[in-house]
Amino acid sequence: MEWGEDIKTISEDEAVMLVNHQATGDVCTLMMCLQDKGLVVAQMMWLMDHIFKYTNFGIVSLIHGDFFIRQGKSHRDQQLLLLKKHLENNYRSRDRKWIVLFPEGGFLRKRRETSQSFAKKNNLPFLTHVTLPRVGATKIILRALVARQENGSSAGGDTKELVFAFFLTLDRIFPVKDVPLETDDLSDWLYQRFIEKEDLLSHFYETGAFPPTKGHKEAVSREMTLSNMWIFLIQSFAFLSGYMWYNIFQYFYHCLF
């Protein structure tokens, strides 16, 4: 089941999906949730930790044109430059539509304490179900893909509009014209989105459902339509590729040692 605005309505638009991150299973869940959203999965670009490059789906992701980002302050500036170049070379030339981004920069259990400490120092809300998002990658995406007018605002007219889709909220798909492009304003905007997500998740954990949107007395959910045969085939392929990858590593290990 899913709640909130029906993101299928923007499946053919360009969009950035901002996702909170709790565990590795988030990726599998998100892939499953997007299967009934037209060609989104085929035309999306993932931004993921570089460690996944060395997994059984790493080669597939490289061929698909996804971007592997290395975490840590010492790599941050270089990685953002590489992301900008990657977007310029691969996004529109390969007919990509959506970008999936985890702006928290890691799993909740690993980032929560640092995020709470940062919030305390900067007079920001104390969050427990999400962490404060980082702005770097989002800023690069906006600068690379959103046309600007001379005054710095996003261009309108015939410019192809990048839409912001925000995963797991109840009332917000944001057109890019409503998203500030300057760093400080963008940071505040992103913080507010995750503060709202904190409230939504708090309500969900307490009641088992999300709160109703404006103008509704109760939250309206939708059942996703998924093919059981597709689920069986794709999971079989995943297990088979994992088994093959394990054997490849075993072979090289024995050859070397």
Dump pLDDT digits (tens) for 96-152. Answer: 999 999 999 889 999 999 999 999 999 999 999 999 999 999 999 988 888 654 444
The region of weakest confidence among 129-143, 168-182, 196-210 is 168-182
Cα 157 to Cα 150: distance, rounded to the nearest angstrom:
14
Q: What value does the mean pLDDT take over residues 61-69? A: 90
| pLDDT given at position 246 | 87
Name the nearest CA neighbour of 91 among 39, 27, 21, 141: 141
Q: Fill in the DSSP letter of residue 236.
A: H
The token duo for 2 is 């899913």
Confidence of residue 81 (pLDDT cuts 50, 70, 90): very high
Is 120 exposed, middle or buried (CB count within 10 Å of its CB: 0-12, 13-18, 19+)? Answer: exposed
More confident: 34 or 158: 34
The CA-based angle 224-226-228, given to 5 degrees, is 145
The token duo for 13 is 């638009």
More confident: 160 or 72: 72
Residue 49: count other Cβ atoms within 10 Å of its Cβ. Answer: 16
| pLDDT given at position 161 | 56
Report yes or no: 48 and 196 within 8 Å, Cβ to Cβ: no
The H or E element containing residue 173 is strand 173-175
Domain boundaries, the chain: 2-226, 229-257
State if pTM tops 0.75: yes
Confidence of residue 46 (pLDDT cuts 50, 70, 90): very high
Confidence of residue 220 (pLDDT cuts 50, 70, 90): confident
| pLDDT given at position 151 | 43
What percentage of the chain reaches a pLDDT higher than 70? 90
pLDDT of 166 over the 70 cut: no
pLDDT of 60 over the 50 cut: yes
- Phi then psi for 154, rounded to 5 degrees? -70, 140
Name the nearest CA neighbour of 171 among 122, 210, 223, 121: 210
Cα 86 to Cα 76: distance, rounded to the nearest angstrom:
15
